Amino acid sequence: MSQEEVSPVAKLTRSSSFTQSHPKALKPFDSGEIKILLLENLNQSGVALLKKEGYQVESIKTALPEDVLIEKIREVHAIGIRSKTKLTKKILQEAKKLLAIGCFCIGTNQVDLETAANRGIAVFNSPFSNSRSVAELVIAEIISLSRHLGDRNIELHQGNWNKVSSQCYEIRGKTLGIVGYGHIGSQLSVLAESMGMTVFFHDVIQLMPLGKAKQVNTLYELLEQSDFVSLHVPETEETKNMIGEEEIARMKKRSYLINASRGTIVQIPSLIKALQNGHLLGAAIDVFPKEPAANGQFFNNELNSWTSDLLACKNVILTPHIGGSTEEAQYMIGLEVGAALVKYINYGTSIGAVNFPEVDLRAIQITEKSIRLLFCHYNVPGVLKEINEILSDHNVDKQYTDSRGNIAYMMADISDVNDQDIKKIYESVSSNRANILTRIVY
């Protein structure tokens, strides 16, 4: 085995100087052999956390062209990205050593999740860390739309003094309708209510309202009674194009639409039509069906055919997908996703994975002489029986298995084994008919 190759079976020096019970720091192999590629200028909080583990970390400020990315991904064990890097099936098939993908953002639709799972690659994201940042942006947009601040700002930059009060309103006493009452929607609910707004929300599941917010039964019921409608739903087959001509027509006349969720949720041509005919007084859009891959003069009709029509609309706030782009959010995202990568690489913990069974075990204590078997496999009948037969000659301290679709993942802590036992367990398990990826850490 060359120095560049990483053995799936590796040792960590055991310490016997502790008399009290403490979690043991497991490692899959020499930390210095782990290679991490971080793209798109990820926050230093995540970079520092991964470097502290002793990993080889390469941090690049931009996304990479496909051919360069393919060349680099062949040699790394984990990759960190944001929204511009697309990890397609073609690219993932070249990732021979890849164990995990960290999406340092909320969305994961830039990754082929099915291909990743079928290769034993766990994908992690940060669904909560930027919730406050997005909620605050929406509050700012509600106020800006109700006062036409965007248009007044542009006019004054052009030297035009236009002091008017027509169609400018306070937000106190107005009704906010929130579509999707998750972490962002619920935080927005609290902030809006504290400013005197009445809050209604619609969600596909029954949820406990915060404050005085009220859940309504249907989307149309929410649209018909809201002065402001703010969208906070994930991109799914059910939510794509969910706000189109019919839904906008059901909104209150002279109301406002805000989308800081996903670019495919709103049918933009229908929105433009409602802005042009005065049915809507304004809109704020932070996400778009197609977005530029880099900063620059790329937001034009070549990207989306309706761009110039949207730019011509009055009282429309357009922002370049910056809902979670605050220093605070990016710092927390770096810590959250970085920690998830470390836990998976070092301990096998898959809690928080979006494409993978979520499995964890109680930490091995420093006084325990145990190894941890990590077995990702296809979910077919009889496999666990076969694996347990392999382990039947050993003492299995604890074991947990879960499945997600056709992918299953097992963690098992096994005690009182020697080097020969470890080698035999690894060879037997990894040669199983359903094996995708087998690792042993200790």
Active site residues: 262, 291, 321
* Residue 283 β-bridge partners: 257, 316
Amino acid at 121: I
Interior CA angle at 397 toward 394 and 403, to 5°?
Answer: 100
Instruction: Please state, in angstroms and rounded to a whole number, the distance separating the CA atoms of residues 101 and 125.
Output: 9
Quick check: helix, strand or coil at residue 208? Answer: coil
Instruction: Judge contact between 5 and 349, C-beta under 8 A.
Output: no
Residue 69: count of CB within 10 angstroms of its CB: 22
Tokens found for residue 313:
């609309």
Please tell me the distance from the alpha carbon of residue 290 to that of residue 32, in angstroms, as a whole number: 39
**Under a CB-based contact definition with an 8 Å cutoff, are residues 50 and 36 in contact?**
yes
Among 15, 56, 13, 17, residue whose Cα is nearest residue 38:
56
